[in-house]
Amino acid sequence: MTGPFEFATAGRVVFGAGRATELPALVGGWGERAVVLTGSRPDRHASLITALPMDVAVVPVSGEPTVDAARAAVAAAREHGAQAVLGIGGGSVIDLGKTVAMLLGNGGDPLDYLEVVGRGHPIGRPSVPFAAVPTTAGTGAEVTMNAVLTSPEHGRKASVRARSMLPALALVDPLLTVDCPPAVTAASGLDALTQCLEPLVSRHRTPITDALAADGLRHAAAGLRAAYADGSDVAARTEMALCSLLGGMSLANAKLGAVHGFAGVIGGLVPVAHGAICAALLAPVTEANVRALRERDPDNPALAAYRRAAALLTGDPGATVEDGVEWIARTVRLLGVGGLAAGGLDPDLVDDVVAKTGSSSSTKGNPIDLTEEELRRALVAAL
Ligand SMILES: NC(=O)c1ccc[n+]([C@@H]2O[C@H](COP(=O)([O-])OP(=O)(O)OC[C@H]3O[C@@H](n4cnc5c(N)ncnc54)[C@H](O)[C@@H]3O)[C@@H](O)[C@H]2O)c1
């Protein structure tokens, strides 16, 4: 029987190749002053920014966001008197934008609200209006209610999270992703795939997220290898922008699993792209989950969901779970994503990572509780 559920997403979702040009009209009426966060090359979006109908301060962002980067960005926004925030960039830029919009509405410091390592205060007031315009596909951060920040002092990534952090506008234009270099296409695309697979088997899945996550996997199968092989393939880029969007909607409402539980911990320790960390873990964690479900909970519907995922990814309606795992492992190899040790994760840290992963908020969505030994085996396989 289906239990109670709810679903929340961005206030407005606008999708389509070429639609980024609508941004100025879409944010009309959002106030006289805004802060625009971009990647390290704001000139890429110069024509879009100059067309905005407000007095704009541009804040370029480099690297994945830290607590200090959020402090600097919100200081710039406060100094400018920003009434709205726009983020044009990858998940890093969008997460920083979400954090700035929340801090402008609520006051205080990022650590006041950061989960796990911060003070975790509830976020009681609305954010100022925030528009998310992704240039990677992706994190789906344009439709999620959290922002991931690294706290170097704690050596850990954690989220600032509130329903009120859902962007007022998610403007998804696949043309903005055609410049992504192959390594970014690979890492962000495998993140998008993971963000469809983990909600599909999550213990918090709902009928709505099942539909979205399954469709997202279909788009990943159609677009991921093709977008990596030819970045200018707009059809493939469109498939991946959809995969990312649907994954974001799914994870925001069904949560994730042990892959993201691990990724939050490992991402605070080594400077490896979030998506590449997820990619290295995806096949080993899937194998661990399937083995544990078969041994301890063989009637769990997550096993059927894994078979459904295998059919969607391979395009073979009769595919087994093992076929699906093999498709994932082959795709990760094809896209040139290496193991975690090559990325700098010290094998001596395995026990520490496993202990922290067990308590991470993402791990709680995993379809079955994995033992420390099962988590350890999956992590060692991902090294
Ligand atoms: N809030 C969420 O729901 C959520 C979900 C998943 C991941 N994340 C977070 O998102 C971050 C990763 O985001 P990401 O994978 O989008 O990567 P990213 O934003 O870190 O960007 C990766 C690199 O690609 C460059 N780039 C971005 N778009 C480009 C383009 N069109 N052309 C050329 N270069 C481009 C960036 O400048 C950067 O150097 C991580 O911090 C991760 O933790 C957040």
Q: What's the CA gap between 275 and 279, in Å, rounded? A: 6
Our mutation pick for probing the ligand 1 site, out of 127, 148, 253, counting the most ligand atoms within 8 A of Cβ, is 148
Compute, in angstroms, the gap from residue 2 CA to the centroid of ligand 1: 35
The percentage of residues in the chain with a pLDDT greater than 90, rounded to a whole number, is 90
Residue to probe by mutation, ligand 1, list 99, 256, 274, most atoms within 8 Å of CB: 274
pLDDT score at 223 = 98
Of ligand 1's atoms, which has the minimum distance to the CA of residue 184? 24
* Percent of the chain predicted with pLDDT > 70: 100
Could you tell me the distance, in angstroms and rounded to a whole number, from the CA of residue 224 to the centre of ligand 1?
16
In this predicted structure, the answer to whether residue 365 has a pLDDT above a threshold of 80 is: yes
pLDDT digits (tens, 9 = 90+) for 245-257: 999 999 999 999 9
pLDDT 10s digits, 195-222: 999 999 999 999 999 999 999 999 999 9
Closest CA to 114 of 366, 361, 382, 376: 361
Nearest partner of 272 among 140, 178, 149, 183, judged by Cα: 183
Q: Which protein residue has the closest C-alpha to ligand 1 atom 21?
A: 90
- In the chain, what is the greatest distance between 2 CA atoms, to the nearest angstrom? 60
Q: What does pTM read for this prediction?
A: 0.96
Provide the pLDDT confidence category of residue 2 given band limits of 50, 70 and 90.
confident
Q: Is 117 helix (H, G, I), strand (E, B) or coil?
A: coil
Pocket of ligand 1 (CB under 6 A): 39-40, 64, 89-93, 95, 135-136, 138-139, 141, 144, 146-148, 176-177, 179-180, 184, 187-188, 191, 274-275
What's the CA-to-centroid distance between 112 and ligand 1, angstroms?
Answer: 24
Whole-angstrom Cα distance, residue 72 to residue 89? 18
Sheet holding 130-134, edge to edge: 13-15, 169-172, 130-134, 84-89, 33-38, 55-60
Domains of the chain, start order: 13-176 (3.40.50.1970), 182-382 (1.20.1090.10)
pLDDT, residue 43, reads 93
**Distance from the alpha carbon of residue 50 to the mean position of ligand 1, in angstroms:** 23
Distance, CA 92 to ligand 1 centroid (Å)? 5
